[in-house]
Amino acid sequence: MNNLIGDEIYEYRISQGFTQDQFGVKYGVSGPAVFKFEKGYVKPSLELWLTMAKDFNIDEKKALLMWIKSRLPEKYQDLINIETTHIYEESEVYQRRKRGIDYSKFVDRKEMRKVLLKDNNLPKGLKSLIRDDEIWLIYKPTGAEINFLRDTFGKLGEGSKSSFREALRLIREFVGEE
């Protein structure tokens, strides 16, 4: 498993001559927490990581991609290219999807779902997730989340129902809804 964030923390801490405890004080965490970050046992929160990355002179976009990549299952990590700080180029199909319906404007979830099920521009995996009655009732995706799944993860391809479900969980972790 890759430990990009832990390696960055370790390299920066050593370059500054800090012990783990001294480094932890700077960021409001304990020395043992720094140890766990460096070893990859635990990942810092997004907010903490972005603060650290700024001090490390890591571009915010690159830092965000590093954090996302560190949270993905290993089989999906290669889809994010940290060195060029971008996610795979947008295809023509994705460009058409991007100009799709703004689902965040829907107030009635039933109506939104009807429109979603008729939307031929959604990735197959996302459409499969929406079709699943149990997932729809348990997760209750919002229109804004649907837009984000389509516009961000749809870039990567059709995906599967489980990959879009995991992406939804990841989105919620970012905004603290889980």
Asked if 104 and 150 sit in the same domain, the reply is yes
Query: What's the CATH code of the domain at 24?
Result: 1.10.260.40
Asked if 115 and 166 sit in the same domain, the reply is yes
Any domain includes 87: no
Any domain includes 163: yes
Which structure tokens are listed for 157?
């391809």
CA distance 26 to 152: 34
CA distance 65 to 83: 10
| pLDDT (tens digit per residue) in 95-117 | 544 557 888 888 889 999 999 99
CA distance 168 to 126: 10
CA distance 41 to 34: 10
Asked if 68 and 111 sit in the same domain, the reply is no
The more confidently predicted of residues 93 and 126 is 126
* 121 contacts 97 by C-beta, under 8 angstroms: yes
If one counts the domains in the chain, the total is: 2
Range of the domain at 14: 4-72
Q: What pLDDT is stored for residue 33 in this prediction?
A: 96
Mean pLDDT of all residues in 156-174:
86
pLDDT confidence band for 83 (50 / 70 / 90): low
Asked if 144 and 109 sit in the same domain, the reply is yes
Asked if 106 and 169 sit in the same domain, the reply is yes
Any domain includes 80: no
pTM exceeds cut of 0.85: no
pLDDT confidence band for 174 (50 / 70 / 90): confident
Asked if 98 and 168 sit in the same domain, the reply is yes
